[in-house]
Amino acid sequence: MRLRLQVLVALVTFSSITGSLAYKPVVILHGILSGAESMASLVREIEEFHPGTIVYNCDKFSGWYSLENAWRQVDQVRDYLNEVGKLHPEGIIVLGYSQGGLLARAAIQSLPEHNVKTFISLSSPQAGQYGTSFLHLIFPDLAAKTAFELFYSRVGQHTSVGGYWNDPQRQDLYLQYSEFLPLINNEKKTSNSTSFKMGMVRLNKLVMIGGPNDDVITPWQSSHFGYFDENMDVIPFIRRPIFTSDSIGIRTLQEAGKLIIVVKPHVHHLAWHTRRDVIHEVIFPYLD
């Protein structure tokens, strides 16, 4: 009911100004250990410079609840996107920040008949995470080299981070225990593998944003599907199997001119959605 009231208020307000919708609705998903309020700066910029845009600032799994199992969160985000999409048959834009970008991507893949036109992944660990700078808030004594002992276990898989923790030197354990990232990346084949790919190639535009001074996403190239190999060298996404085998449709999108890679230096992880100049440079061009 609250979602429908939000739409009605927005439509009435905007129609009184222009009588028509100029921009597609935007759904925003926050990152880990935060909530919808953390995306307020981005919402304000969109509403100011794209007046009349209907913005859905998703408040699901805020704060500590963002650590819940990744699939549990994806199930609710999927239903949320499906409901919003039905309200806007013209299509919607989805922007997911940090962990929210990974959950949003999985939700889109779980909706092979979605009407998401553009998906913007804003500094999200799409190929996984192997850095503990942000985890010290939760697990003060956790180190990257030993984190697998926690995350590659039944207990660890109950946490969202455990679902996308990707230890490059323990790939056997990653594939054995991880119940989330290997599935949505089609590294482990399931009955959903085909539909996961269909959900991606249905996009009109996939925008991947990240940069070398992020200091949280590790390696930062994970925001573009790049990742460490077993020697801790970062392999660009175009040389990784997820692209060369086109397992989830990234190569298909690139060949169709629908994949956009944005590399922006001198932006810390917490600034992608708060710095006005960054918002206008790397996000606004794709809110059409």
**Active-site option among 114, 224, 269, 273:** 269
Helices (H) and strands (E) in the chain, counts: 12, 8
60 pLDDT band (50/70/90 cuts)? very high
Longest dimension (CA), the chain: 60
Confidence category of residue 288, pLDDT binned at 50, 70, 90 = confident
The total number of structural domains that make up the chain: 1
Residue 17, token pair as written in the block = 């100004």
Listed residue (86, 147, 95) closest to 113, CA to CA: 86
d(CA 256, CA 10): 34
pTM for this model (two decimals) = 0.92
Q: Which residue in the list 98, 123, 178, 222 is annotated as catalytic?
A: 98
Q: 166 lies in a domain?
A: no
Band of residue 12 on the pLDDT scale cut at 50, 70, 90: very low
Any idea which residue has 């429908």 for tokens?
A: 4
On whether residue 11 sits in a domain, the answer given is no
Residue 21 inside a domain? The answer is no
Residue 186 placed within a domain = no
Nearest to 267 by CA among 208, 214, 194: 214
**pLDDT tens digits, residue range 89-121?**
999 999 999 999 999 999 999 998 999 999 999
Q: In this structure, what CATH number is given to the domain that contains residue 258?
A: 3.40.50.1820
Task: Give the domain range for residue 83.
Answer: 26-132+191-286
The single residue of 34, 214, 222, 273 carrying the catalytic annotation is 214
In the residue annotation, 98 being an active-site residue is answered as yes
The answer as to whether 243 is a domain residue is yes
Asked if 133 is an active-site residue, the reply is: no
Whether residue 205 is contained in a domain is answered as: yes
d(CA 97, CA 103): 9
Model pLDDT, residue 13: 44
Model pLDDT, residue 145: 86
Mean pLDDT calculated for residue range 175-181:
97
| Residue 214 bears catalytic tag | yes
- Bridge-based pairing state of the strands 205-210 and 259-263: parallel
- Residue 97, strand partner residues: 122
Tell me which residue of 129, 122, 134 sits closest to 41, measured CA to CA: 122
In this prediction, residue 18 has a pLDDT band, given cuts at 50, 70 and 90, of very low
Categorize the per-residue pLDDT at 8 as very low, low, confident or very high, splitting at 50, 70 and 90.
Answer: very low
199 found inside a domain: yes
